[in-house]
Structure 1
Amino acid sequence: MGILDKLLGNAGEMDIPGATEELQTILGPNEQIELAYKLIRDMLVLTNCRLILIDKQGVTGRKVEYRSVPYKSITMFLVESTGNFDLDAELKIWISGQHDPLGMTFSGKTNIYKLQGLLAEKVAGK
């Protein structure tokens, strides 16, 4: 993920070992990270058990909100790929009991189809 993507607020894919090391304190005993994306300080993580949204707050980022979403709670999701003039991709996830979807923007370099495939597998398999 380049500096321009960070400034524009676009998420890029993280390596699994790095994400696992960073999140080892919140993962369950048999939980494994399958995909992880980082947006400056915030993260979107897909594990074999759940979707985790991490929001680092404040100037120092010491206060962290971990939102855990079981795949069975996802009612619908939308993936919008890049286009000729639109250089970033988008993900929107609707969760049971919430009116507004959760959304995230990804850099054009991110393989959004990999994310879409894993989400489809997890949501359909609930």
Structure 2
Amino acid sequence: MIDFQNGSFFKLKQNDEYADKVAQLLLPDEKVISSFKAIRDGVVFTDKRIIVVNVQGITGRKVDYSSLPYSKISAFSVETAGTFDLDSELEMYFSGLGKVKLEFTGQTNLVEISKIIAGFAL
């Protein structure tokens, strides 16, 4: 599993590449809502959970998929981009896991993502 305790994980940008990569992991009635990618790693928001994709090793053949169900979120925080600080952040607190912090670049609509999380977690 990814070590989420070491501060921010990576900076993500909207990208559908990982939506295809996690398709084999989805339940028959589960649907992808949004997908993001950093240099090698990614995050996929579905209608049931968040799947964090951590590509490992030099060749990138080894991949860790961490499944974070919305039902385990006890609190979350959204920080939108500003004038000088162009990055936005999403912090979620999972029971049994602790804090997970994801950083997004540029034009990511974290307000919309927070509505999705609230709809499933509250």
With normalisation by structure 1, the TM-score equals 0.81
Question: 2:18–2:37: 8 Å Cα contact kept in structure 1?
Answer: no
Aligned pairs for 1:1-126 within 5 A: 10-15=11-16, 18-99=17-98, 101-124=99-122
Q: Which amino acid aligns with 2:107?
A: K
Unaligned 5+ residue runs, structure 1? 1-8
* Gaps in structure 2 of 5+ consecutive residues: 1-9
> Percent of aligned pairs with the same residue?
36
Q: How many residues end up aligned between the 2 structures?
A: 113
Which residue type is aligned with residue 65 of structure 1?
D
1:22 is displaced (CA, Å) by 2.3
**1:63-115 residue CA offsets vs partner (Å, 9 max, x unmatched):** 1111111111111111101112111001111110134x111111121111121
TM-score by length of 2: 0.83
SS in 2 for 1:35: strand
| Contact 2:30 2:47 (8 Å CA) reproduced | yes
Q: Which has the higher contact order (CA 8 A, sep 6+)?
A: 2
State the 4+ residue runs in structure 1 displaced beyond 3 angstroms: none
Q: Which has the higher helix share?
A: 1
Spell out, residue by residue over 1:8-47, the C-alpha distance to the aligned partner (whole angstroms, 9 max, x if none).
Answer: x5211124xx544222211111111011111112111111
The residue identity in structure 2 corresponding to 1:88 is D
RMSD between superposed Cα atoms in Å? 1.5
